[in-house]
Structure 1
Amino acid sequence: MAVDEKGKGVPIAFLMFSAPSGNKQTSSGYNTEILTKLLQKWRDELEYFGKRTFEVFVVVTDTDMKERGALLNVFPHVWLLICKFHIRQSWHNHHNKVLRGNAPALLDMKTRLGHLETELIPTIEFSSAMQLIDKERQILNAMVQQGDSSSIAERGLLHVEYLQSFWMKEELWRSWSDFGRRAAAHLLSCKFEGVLPLQTI
């Protein structure tokens, strides 16, 4: 994908394959191995016809770890970013799952967790991101101890634990935080704003 003068993504290559018969959706019909073969074939053909080495510096993906694994297999030095829309969608889906319902206290907790997520995205130091997580955990633990809406606070803690246990692994944090976009801008020799945080097609 290239980026036009309006900041929109313009597809310049499509990698297409069919899902095995019986699969209800394409994404359930591939794995890292299949994607690695597909990407390697694409790279080989580009290098054959271009008569030069083909490298990819930065890729923006959704949250599919199979895709990310395949990209790293074929382009070991690629800098992987996660699309901001997809990361927020994953977080939103999870906190809606643990805070199911429309009671005012539940909606307040969803809003609170949404603010935490919004604060995490622009972090450029891992320690600062962890401090945000720790601060929120302390506040929610205090709410549990006070007994006021303690069950809702406990459910909020489930979401904070989800964020820390998976998305706050430092290597993954680099992919969705502004730290990652800054690193990508350096690799691409462009301004920070030139690294689109979204898959905008």
Structure 2
Amino acid sequence: SLVIKPELFKLKHLKSLTFFNCFVSPITLAKEDWINLGSNLESLEFRSNPGLIGGLPETIGSLTKLKSLVVLENGFNGKVPASLCNLTRLQRLVLAGNLFTGTIPDCFNGFKDLLILDLSRNLFSGTLPLSIGEMVSLLKLDLSNNQIEGELPQELGVLKNLTLLDLRNNIISGGLFENIVKIRSLTDLVLSGNPMGSDDDDMMGIK
């Protein structure tokens, strides 16, 4: 199992950093050193590292030049640090297949360039944040296999470039709003495993 040495954070010209299948034994990430990579790093990936536990360091939010942050199938848990809201240059944000909890941060109003948002296969709860409608460039939104509840916000209907909306296996209710049905760019809409219908609204009930 790899140990991250402090010397790594002296590579201040790094543009891309990937850890794939590196951490098997339990380890938490250092918190203070990530800021040293903030001047150039554009891509940071942690993929298939079951030994990576604990929370994402708050200091990852200092990597403000990041265009891609992929945290896929690791052992991370706890709440997503609020500092991720600073990463407004992101084009891809993937936090799938971890054990993140709490509500999805309501801070997407600055993410004008984001193309892919994948928060699937976690333990996120609460309702969808209204700022999701501010991600005007978004192509793919995958929030499947969480514990998200409540009705779909009408703000989703503003995402005119969206091709994939995957909300399967949550606790979403209340039918579909008319403006969501009017997203003509959608090619894949997955709502399986949600109590979308009720006495007042059928599965495709339009409000």
TM-score normalised by structure 2 residue count: 0.26
Larger helix fraction of residues: 1
Larger gyration radius, structure 1 or structure 2:
1
TM-score normalised by structure 1 residue count: 0.26
Larger strand fraction of residues: 2
